[in-house]
């Protein structure tokens, strides 16, 4: 197929979808603008000292929780491995 034929087929598919689902169709430009507004709305001002401190404490708490979680999982795995070796299920 030529490039022009591919474009015609794609256009006819899109037109058919728009005709069938016109209630749910979102204009691409509006969709893009919605995302851009949300991106601007969620922008964090890292120059603000409170934002930096909050980000640091949140990250520190999450890293600490992850470390403790992995340590507990490792401890449970070690106990299971030792118990299975103790009863000779694993050589």
> The domain containing residue 24 runs over which residues?
1-43
Give me the pLDDT at residue 69, please: 93
Are 90 and 63 in the same domain? yes
Q: How many structural domains is the chain composed of?
A: 2
Q: Which three-class secondary structure state does DSSP give residue 53? A: helix
Q: Is 89 exposed, middle or buried (0-12, 13-18, 19+ CB in 10 A)?
A: exposed
Instruction: Give, as one character, the DSSP assignment of residue 68.
Output: H
Of the two residues 64 and 89, the one the predictor is more confident about is 64
**Segment holding 18, helix H or strand E:** helix 3-20
Are 60 and 23 in the same domain? no
Query: pLDDT of 10-28, one tens digit each?
Result: 888 888 877 776 666 677 7
Pair of tokens at residue 18: 């728009």
Are 56 and 71 in the same domain? yes
Query: pLDDT of 68-84, one tens digit each?
Result: 999 999 999 998 888 88
Query: Looking at the whole model, is its pTM more than 0.85?
Result: no
């Amino acid at each position: 197929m030529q490039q022009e034929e591919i474009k015609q087929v794609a256009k006819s598919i899109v037109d058919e979808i728009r005709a069938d689902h016109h209630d749910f169709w979102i204009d691409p430009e509006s969709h893009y603008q919605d995302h851009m507004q949300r991106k601007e709305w969620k922008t964090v001002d890292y120059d603000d000292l409170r934002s930096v401190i909050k980000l640091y404490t949140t990250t520190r708490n999450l890293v600490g929780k992850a470390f403790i979680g992995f340590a507990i999982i490792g401890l449970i795995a070690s106990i299971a491995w030792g118990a299975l070796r103790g009863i000779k299920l694993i050589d």
